[in-house]
Amino acid sequence: MSVVSLLAELADVGASRAGGYDRLAWTRADSKCREWFVAQSESRGLDVEVDRNGNLWAWLNPSLPGSALVVGSHLDSVPRGGAFDGPLGIASAFAALDLLADFAPTRPIAIVAFADEEGARFGVACAGSRLLTGALAADTFRSLTDADGVTTAEAMSNAGQSPDHVGADLERVARIGEFIELHVEQGHLRTSAGVDGLTPDAPLGLATEIWPHGRWRVDLIGQQNHAGTTRLADRVDPMLDLARVILEVRNAAEASGILATVGRVRVSPGAVNAIPGSASAWIDARGSDEDRVVSVMGDIGRGAVLESWTPTTPFDSAFVADVGKAIGGDLPLLPSGAGHDAGVLALAGIPTAMILVRNPSGISHAPEEFAEDGDCERGVVALAAAMRSRTA
Ligand code: HGY
Ligand code: MN
Ligand code: MN
């Protein structure tokens, strides 16, 4: 089945009326994507299992000796996310396996769908892969709640996944010899050839590293009161501080050459006619220079609560070179400003590579995210070549 047809099977799953996809972790839409994963796996005779952290694994020849080559990505999205971020990597893995139907691998191969990569609901990115490797403590994970106060444990249970044993699964990590994640390009970062993003002549690229990435929360306290009867002089309005934080984040980012964003705010009680009693803002900061990200956030992050931090994550250059050689052609090398499960596995010491597929829109985490059918097919051929070379 082609990768385009595989993706088309998810076209209606979690489609948002406002455009894009709402497939937040452990919601109905996420569950339907997981059902699709299981159906695609079983139709190929793969052994499907769900690990203690809710990550889905589909195994080909699990009893073969040696560590596995694992390929995959994630199924969850940000609110109104694009169609490709995550699912393209998984659909490509199934389609690549179909291209290898006549091939007898010498080691196990697994396709993985990591749970809750976006962290869009509970705030911590790559929760499934971080729990797996021990980068996210079970207690910290259990303490997370979504905007409605639903805990991670409740959300998992409601989705039919036991939360009772979440936590590091190092035996499983030891079974992963190498990991390759195919992913849609998510912006036009400069390639090693000095070009801004992949081009029609270079529809595929390889990631060299993942930029450092931090998420902070700022809580601002005011005095809830009546909008129509409280004099301005008597107000304690957290929205003024919120406005200051948002502008300060942007100014500091511009001044220092990092990328910092306030993409989420929460105002209580959120009534048109009530001065808020409190407001929270979430800051996402990243950039090519880790020290600069840390120092900028040190300045503006006073009183901010660090919710997650991932250092600069270089990929194993020898492994990336081998994958590039297997694919053939002189693939451009480019950094990833976006975080990925591949980064978590790389930090756990697993040789990891990412194949990036051109996104002419240069937009991601939005309905406009896009990849041409032809480029998606090229990505599958490349992934299949890499898989063949790593399991011959
Ligand atoms: O936020 C990120 O960079 C990734 O898409 N989770
Ligand atoms: Mn992704
Ligand atoms: Mn994403």
Q: Give the domain CATH number at 319.
A: 3.40.630.10
- 310, 331, 364 — which closes off a domain? 310
Q: Are 302 and 217 in contact (CB under 8 A)?
A: no
Q: Which domain holds residue 191?
A: 3-211+312-391
Examine the domain organization and report whether 94 and 113 are in the same domain. yes
Examine the domain organization and report whether 298 and 318 are in the same domain. no
Examine the domain organization and report whether 305 and 318 are in the same domain. no
Q: Is the CB of 338 under 6 A from ligand 1?
A: yes
Q: Are 352 and 315 in contact (CB under 8 A)?
A: yes
- Distance from Cα 307 to the centre of ligand 2, integer Å: 19
Examine the domain organization and report whether 14 and 116 are in the same domain. yes
Q: Is the CB of 343 under 6 A from ligand 1?
A: no
Examine the domain organization and report whether 278 and 355 are in the same domain. no
Examine the domain organization and report whether 231 and 161 are in the same domain. no
Q: Is the CB of 118 under 6 A from ligand 1?
A: yes
Q: Is the CB of 117 under 6 A from ligand 1?
A: yes
pTM above 0.75, yes or no: yes
Ligand 1, atom 4: nearest CA belongs to which residue?
339
Ligand in closest contact with the CA of 123:
1
Q: Is the CB of 184 under 6 A from ligand 1?
A: no
Examine the domain organization and report whether 206 and 270 are in the same domain. no
Examine the domain organization and report whether 327 and 289 are in the same domain. no
Examine the domain organization and report whether 192 and 238 are in the same domain. no
- Among 21, 25, 212, which residue's Cα sits nearest to residue 118? 25
Query: How far, in Å, CA of 368 to CA of 350, rounded?
Result: 33
- 292, 310, 328 — which closes off a domain? 310
By CB neighbour count within 10 A (0-12 exposed, 13-18 middle, 19+ buried), where does 291 fall?
exposed
Closest ligand 1 atom, residue 119 Cα: 6
Q: One digit per residue, pLDDT tens: the chain, 392 residues?
A: 899 999 999 999 999 999 999 999 999 999 999 999 999 999 999 999 999 999 999 999 999 999 999 999 999 999 999 999 999 999 999 999 999 999 999 999 999 999 999 999 999 999 999 999 999 999 999 999 999 999 999 999 999 999 999 999 999 999 999 999 999 999 999 999 899 999 999 999 999 999 999 999 999 999 999 999 999 999 999 999 999 999 999 999 999 999 999 999 999 999 999 999 999 999 999 999 999 998 888 877 667 998 888 999 999 999 999 999 999 989 999 999 999 999 999 999 999 999 999 999 999 999 999 999 999 999 999 999 999 999 99
Ligand in closest contact with the CA of 114:
2
- 310, 334, 365 — which closes off a domain? 310
Query: How far, in Å, CA of 172 to CA of 174, rounded?
Result: 5
Examine the domain organization and report whether 12 and 89 are in the same domain. yes
Number of domains in the chain: 2
Examine the domain organization and report whether 204 and 348 are in the same domain. yes
Q: Is the CB of 54 under 6 A from ligand 1?
A: no
- Distance from Cα 20 to the centre of ligand 2, integer Å: 14
Name the amino acid, one letter, at 70. V
Examine the domain organization and report whether 61 and 154 are in the same domain. yes
By CB neighbour count within 10 A (0-12 exposed, 13-18 middle, 19+ buried), where does 339 fall?
buried
